[in-house]
Amino acid sequence: MPRFNELKTLYETQGLEIVAANYAQNDTEIQDFITTYGATYGMARVADDSGYTVPSYSTVFAIDRQGRLLWSGSSSLVTNAMVEDWLSPPAGKDGGKKEEGCSTSPAPGGSAAAAVLAALAVLGLRSKRIKARRVGALRAGSTVVGKDSGTPGARTDSSQGRQE
Amino acid sequence: MRFWQLLAVSVLLACSTYALHAQAVGDEVANKVFLNSWNTPGGFNEVTDYRGSVLLLDWFGTT
């Protein structure tokens, strides 16, 4: 990918390394990919992607100098500013962990929580509709009951019945 | 109604499974040993060899 070539050229001297990992293709196919796209960044064939959540290709995991996750997401979302932020010296006292807000990715669990909330919202709307239908049915039912209870509506209904 | 119940259960299961396997920012990433590599620095054979550098590990497929 030309984008990774560009990032490598721009930031290699500041300590950026790029490795594209693949477990689905054989060595020949990976070599062909390197030749076709002129990849100058690292390529590696690995056994599998266990330990990494890879929803789709290509997914990037930005890893800090201590081997900790900084960010993960689609490679198309990686900007120069993000890379510069990752390469900047750590601000905290713990020797590397970025201040909250510097990392550009929310915790993956946040997406799951959002999905759960969305599901609950759908269920809530559904139950409201059901309640509304029940209330409507009860009201309709009271009119029917009213036929025998002497309400004005019942009188109308019964009078219509007589006319028929 | 049954459809919505099944959908909700499926979504919840999927989310919980995803959350269990997802990495959080700040967590140490899993090491991966390279079975073969190209354009990598000499002697770098696994992810942990990149300690000291900021590494962009890209999972890609050629198809």
Q: Which two tokens stand for residue B17?
A: 């499974």
CATH architecture of A2-105: 3-Layer(aba) Sandwich (3.40)
Any domain includes B61: no
Any domain includes B59: no
Any domain includes B39: yes
Any domain includes B55: no
**CA of B12: which chain A residue's CA is closest?**
A116
| Tens-digit pLDDT profile for residues A87-122 | 997 665 454 444 433 344 444 444 445 555 555 565
Question: Which residues of chain A from 134 to 163 reach within 8 Å of chain B, CB to CB?
Answer: none
List strand residue ranges (DSSP E) for A12-118, in order: 16-22, 42-45, 59-63, 69-74
Does residue A20 have a pLDDT over 70? yes
User: What are the structural domain ranges in chain A?
Assistant: 2-105, 110-163
CA-to-CA dists, residue A117 to A52, B2, B7, B25, angstroms: 25, 19, 14, 22
| Tens-digit pLDDT profile for residues A25-48 | 999 999 999 999 999 999 999 999
Any domain includes B34: yes
Tell me: cis bond preceding A58? Omega within 30 of 0 counts: yes
Global confidence as pTM: 0.62
Any domain includes B22: yes
Complete DSSP assignment for chain B: -HHHHHHHHHHHHHHHHHHHHPPPTTSBPPP-B-SEEESPPTT--BGGGGTTSEEEEEE----
Q: Do B58 and A32 touch (CB under 8 A)?
A: no
Q: Which two tokens stand for residue A20?
A: 């594209």
A53 has a chain B CB within 8 A of its CB: yes
Structural domain for B18, as ranges: 2-50
- What is the ipTM metric for this complex? 0.71
| Tens-digit pLDDT profile for residues B14-29 | 655 555 456 799 999 9
Q: Coil, helix or strand for A23? A: coil
Q: How many domains does chain B have?
A: 1
| Chain A residues near residue B21 by CB distance under 8 angstroms | 53
**Are the CB atoms for A48 and B35 separated by under 8 Å?**
no
Cα–Cα nearest to A123, from B6, B19, B16, B13: B6
| Chain A residues near residue B29 by CB distance under 8 angstroms | 51-52, 61, 63, 67-69
